[in-house]
Amino acid sequence: MAKLIGNKSNIAVFISGRGSNLKYLIKNSKCKNSLFRIKLVISNNSEANGLKYAEKSKIKFYVIKYNNNNTSDAQLLRLLKKFKIDLICLAGFMKIISKNFIDKFHKPIFNIHPSLLPKYKGLNTHLRALKNNEKFSGSTVHLVTSRLDSGKIILQKKVKIYKLDNVKSLEKKILKIEHKIYSDAVNKFLSNP
Ligand code: GRF
């Protein structure tokens, strides 16, 4: 897959809810050495808390009821073209992107997943890691393919699980590292042709 070098790359962030990763992608994109800017935010949920971060930073956002079909794909692809988007970051986007969309976009799509992939693909990662008495969990930034949570890993970071940890405390610890590694992963990818 061709990588992007030269000027800052235009990123679209797809969200569905809280949007804390979006918040930090926006914040980190303003750092001096950032290789990307957040150009567009897409949400499939009009009530998504994350939309307020886009609004606050005057970033264009659209609510699209993404249905994983050709009509939604075409609508999204048109928008991404209009905003000259070079790379998509899925950040808590609770819809599965269609193979048709991935094939037609032709550019990288990233996702952040709250586990040490390939372990614990899918939902309820923290609960499953705790039930299995894992010593570590973490977060992974990976390329999106048509197979769920399975594309090439760009960056991964571990956190230790302690006896007293529960789903809430583990989620909090992992979210904290996600807020840094998502931007680090994008910059790493963009700086390494
Ligand atoms: C994050 O934990 C991310 O790994 C997962 O969904 C969560 C989104 O959180 N894919 P937020 O909406 O960015 O706060």
CB atoms within 10 A of CB 34: 18
Instruction: Report pLDDT for 6.
Output: 54
- Atom in ligand 1 nearest the alpha carbon of residue 90: 10
Q: If you average pLDDT over residues 29-40, what whole number do you get?
A: 97
Instruction: Report the alpha-carbon distance of residue 119 to residue 121 in Å, rounded.
Output: 6
Q: If you average pLDDT over residues 138-166, what whole number do you get?
A: 96
Residues linked to residue 159 through DSSP beta bridges, in sequence order: 137
Global pTM value: 0.95
Residues enclosing ligand 1, CB less than 6 A? 15, 17-21, 91-92, 112-114, 139, 175, 178
Residue nearest to atom 9 of ligand 1 (CA): 92
Instruction: Report pLDDT for 178.
Output: 98
Q: If you average pLDDT over residues 49-74, what whole number do you get?
A: 95
Instruction: Report pLDDT for 81.
Output: 98
Taking only the tens place, the pLDDT of each residue in 75-112 is: 999 999 999 999 999 999 999 999 999 999 999 999 99
Instruction: Report the alpha-carbon distance of residue 17 to residue 15 in Å, rounded.
Output: 6
Instruction: Report pLDDT for 55.
Output: 98
Instruction: Report the alpha-carbon distance of residue 151 to residue 141 in Å, rounded.
Output: 9
Given 113, 126, 142, 179, which residue is catalytic? 113
**For residues 91 and 22, is the Cβ–Cβ distance under 8 A?**
yes
Closest to 86 in 3D by CA, of 135, 52, 48, 38: 38
Q: If you average pLDDT over residues 55-61, what whole number do you get?
A: 98
- Atom in ligand 1 nearest the alpha carbon of residue 91: 13
Residues linked to residue 89 through DSSP beta bridges, in sequence order: 13, 110
